[in-house]
Amino acid sequence: MTEKGKHIPIFDKDQKLANTLASSILFGLSHRYPDLAEEIKKHTLSVLDVGTGRGGMLESFRKSGLTKVVGIDYNKISGQKETGAMRADAHFLPFQDESFNLVTSLGAFESALYPNDLSKILKEIHRVLKPGGVMVASDGLDFRLTPPELHNLFEEIDMVGAWRKK
């Protein structure tokens, strides 16, 4: 969703939806991948939320017991500081290689925001994911991302909108 070219995460308006989605993501991962299930169980799973807005998804992941949760958004949005979100560009993620087990980006890939640059963002997400890490991404509420770069960097898994680092 955009407003004058700005990304407005749907979770900023509906925390209940964010809680449900975060729980669903963690449930799906824990039932498919024993390595990630162990990280979730120990609360050591590291999560990056790209396009976090005010940090609704961050709050939801923390409610699940996770402590290594970071969010970035290109726009400065009030309320970010309280959730630990930071201002950063998804084209140049300010993190070391292989820093996260899970990267979420729900609604930040809208074509109005990144008309020609999705390839660069996917490469950056791939770079910061740990081996075997998972990206869960959507374009708005459409979880059927199809850029060709996606299949070069990730393998599609049997969870809607999720890909695992090759």
Delimit the domains of the chain by residue range: 9-42+49-93+100-165
Quick check: 116 pLDDT over 90?
A: no
d(CA 161, CA 138): 6
Fold of 9-42+49-93+100-165: Rossmann fold (3.40.50)
| DSSP-based three-state secondary structure for 27 | helix
pLDDT tens-place string over residues 60-106: 899 889 989 999 988 776 666 677 788 888 889 999 999 999 999 87
More confident: 144 or 23: 23
d(CA 32, CA 25): 11
Quick check: 150 pLDDT over 70?
A: no
d(CA 24, CA 2): 25
CA angle (118, 109, 146) in 5-degree steps: 65
d(CA 144, CA 148): 12
48 with 97: CB under 8 angstroms? Answer: no
**Which two tokens mark 65?**
């017991």
With cut-offs at 50, 70 and 90, classify the pLDDT of residue 46. very high
pTM of the model: 0.81
With cut-offs at 50, 70 and 90, classify the pLDDT of residue 4. very low
| The pLDDT value given to residue 1 | 39
